[in-house]
Each structure stands twice: as C-alpha cells, then as structure tokens.
Amino acid sequence: MPDTAAKGTPRLGAKVRALRRQEGLSQVQMAERLAISPSYLNLIEANKRPLTANLLIQLAHSFQVELKSFAPDADQRVAEDLMEAFGDPLFESLDLPASEVRDLAQNEPALARAVFLLYQSYREAARRMRTLSDQLSDGQGFPAASTPLPSEAAGDFIQRRMNHFPELEKAAEALWQQAGLDQELLYAGLAGAFRERGIQVRIHWADEARGILRRFDPDARVLSLSELLSPRSRTFQLAHQWALLALSELLDQLTEDPLLTGPVARSMARVALANYFAGAVLMPYGPFLRATLASRYDIELLSRRFQTSFEQVCHRLTTLRRPGEEGVPFHFLRIDIAGNISKSFSASGIRFARYSGCCPRWNIHAAFLTPGLIRTQISEMNDGRKYFCIACTLHRDTGNYRGQHAIQALGLGCEIGYARELIYADGLVLDQPPVPIGVTCRLCDRTDCEQRAFPPLHQAIQVEEDVRRSSFYAHLADGQGRGRRGK
C-alpha cells in the first residue's frame, strides 16, 4: 500500500509502537483505548497514516506521556548525526542511500542511536590509537588513560535542554531580590553579597598569578579577580563564582543527566551552567527581553545598556525560551581563524557538523575580512530552509602588551521568517536569491560549488585527466563529470 501520509507530516509511527510495547499492549488493546480500529493503528505505526492532533492528545492523556516526547526534533538530530557518521570514508564502499539512513532514524530511533554510539566509540578508539602511535614514535612511552571528549557531551546536554534552564532563571531573580541588586551598581552589589557570606573579593595584579583571571581560595575565603579583566568581565566572574558556591546542589541536580557520562563532562556542564547563571544575573530575563524587543535585537545597544560584551548578549539571546515570553529562536556559532568550531547551539533548526568545520560559504568566515563590522547573509540549506544570519569578529583583549590577542568570529542567525524582527534586516530585500550553503562538503549534495574541498557523500566522481574545471569536485550544471568513481 502506498504511503498516504500527508507531505511534511512527522512520521511518528515508531514512537507510537514503542509506547505500545512499553505498556505491554497489543495493537487491538491500544486501538480500543484510542477508539480506533486495529487496522488504522497498524497503518499509523507503519507511517502510512498520519498521527492526527486529536489522536496525539488522546495518546498523551490515556498513557500519561508528555506531548513533547512525540516531537520529531530529536529523531531528526539522530538522522543528521548518522548521515555525518556515514560520511566517514570508512563507509564509502557501502553506498548507503540517505533515505535509508533517515528511515532508520525515524522507524527505529533507539537502534539508530545505538549505531551512532558505536561510531562514536570507533572514533574514540581510533583517536587513542593515533595518540599511542605518536607517543611511541616519539619515544615518550604509553599515554595516560584517556576518556571521550567531554565537551561534546556537555554540548549535547545544553542542546537537548534547548539552552533554557528555568531553575537558573529563578535563582538569578532570587539573588536580585535578596541582595537588592541595582543595574548601575551590579559589581558592588555582588561583592557585597559575597561579603555577607564571609568572602572577601579582591583584585590581584597580573604578576601575582600569571594566566589566572579568577581564583577562589576556600580556606582563606578570598575570591581573587585579575586586574586584566575588564569591569564587565569582573562582574560576570563574580556571578559565575556565586553559582558555583551558592547553587552547587542545584548544579549537581541539573548535571545528573545520562548524557554526561563522566566527571569531566559533568564538570564542564557545571561550568556552562554557571556561565548561564551569570548571564541571567547580568541580563535579567524580563528587563532584558523587553529591551531586546524594543531595540529589535540591537546587540550593540543591549551590550551597552546591560554593560556586557557582544558575545555575552548573543549567548543570552539564545536562552530566551520561557513559555509565553519567547524571543526569536536563534542558532549560535563561534569559530577561530582556522575554522575550528569552539561553541555552537541551534534553536533555529540549522545543523552544525559534529566532527568537522562548517561550510566555507557561511558569512562567519568572511567576517575575518572585515574585523569589527557586522556582516549579514541570506542563505539556504540543502533542505530548502532559508536563514538570516549576522557575523562579526570578536577581539579578546588580554589587557596587557605581551598578552596574545586572540581573534574569533561569532555567528548568530534565525529562520528567514523572523528576519524582520531584527534591526539588521532593515533595508534588505529578503526575497533576494539566497546563498546556497551546506553543513559540510561531505554532507552537502551541491555539485556546482566551487569551494568544495571534498566529494559529496554517495556521489560518484569521474576523474577527467584532459579537462580542468574550476574545482576538482565541482560538476557542471548539465551533469558532466558524473560517472564512475575515479581511482
């Protein structure tokens, strides 16, 4: 029987089937509870009929499950992770169709996650082997026991929570009330709160502790901040340390998550949550959201009003997900000049590569050509979704002549439908032809890209020795150059 589900309808059959099995019910028994026929339930589980809104509500009510458990976003992310994994040259000879990979993630999400976990384990084992080989060849002996990279686990933890933690928002608002904080005297107010806890706040000279910007001595009850920190950074570090001390139990509760499989990953997640709390203290949710909407997301204006940095404002903008008081759902990306991704988050639906850099057509790379200027871009991913993005360089001032002045670039973006809410879209023609972009070369099927560095996944390539094209992996629009794989 052909699939008659509506185009674009989320395929939730696997979730319904998993719920039924979890409850220990047959299709006949579940169908009776939903007041539908067993044959119709069978079609739903086979993704041949859509799960209607009424049935979805009835499922949630009858089996005491949350509606968000049926959201397709998680399965979509698993599908994208699998696509990236199968983009590894290890699987090149298998020629796995992308449709089959997506079907696996949609119909058997648990199995798909298991496959991806196996791939992660493989990559970690390969990384350890390379490390061991390098150290043996250098005569340094065997390496110490290594653990999987914890930064990825911490990032997945933040992504799954959509970078919104109501518990920390509530704690930040409570601190404002208890300490009687004032926006214009925030540093003094936070320092006073520490004094009430018997902790002295002092500024140390750079030569006293080279390379250390913040240090807390629990025995001496002294919190020391470097003179190299700007005033706004000192305030941020005070709020960060407050979270580590006063909210330690809450941070422990939040980081008791199966994604955080080791102590290092949990510690990194605690640091991320302390940063989140610091942002919530410097930019309280209600006042910040009102200022954001009034200024139409003018990041530079917001940074001056709340005495924060450009990057801190961008981070805070991604956390505005309070039900009924949401901001624009943004994605956030930070890279260095080599293209390495040091931080990323997506609420817009755009996909970031897990194991490599991002597409060279993204305007975040071009930001390095115009330091300090905000660049805009209207782009389109392979799935047809369009985005409006801004990018700007970040100059990390170390505060002294001999310090290294690192330059990074930050990208912030949203779906094109939200663009008019941003001041940066003023004067732009939003229906202009977008810049075609992808996730990475291996996961992008655009064969006419002159900036392609690797062949696309599952795309046969013919090497033409007597023809020189603008790019070795790019094909002409008429399809020339496709055929057997070159040796």
Domain spans of the chain, in order of start: 13-71, 75-136, 166-183+232-322, 328-436, 441-487
| Of the listed ranges 118-122, 126-130, 261-265, the one predicted with least confidence | 126-130
Give residues with Cβ within 8 angstroms of 93, minimum separation 6.
none
> pLDDT confidence of 130, banded at 50, 70, 90?
low
More confident residue, 68 or 208: 208
| Domain at 13-71, CATH homologous superfamily | lambda repressor-like DNA-binding domains (1.10.260.40)
Report pLDDT for 30.
86
CATH architecture of 328-436: 2-Layer Sandwich (3.30)
Task: State pTM to two decimals.
Answer: 0.71
- For 214-244, write each residue's pLDDT tens digit: 999 999 999 999 999 999 999 999 999 999 9
Give mean pLDDT, residues 17-23.
Answer: 80
- For 303-349, write each residue's pLDDT tens digit: 999 999 999 999 999 999 999 999 999 999 999 998 888 899 999 98
Report pLDDT for 5.
43
| Of the listed ranges 206-215, 326-335, 441-450, the one predicted with least confidence | 441-450
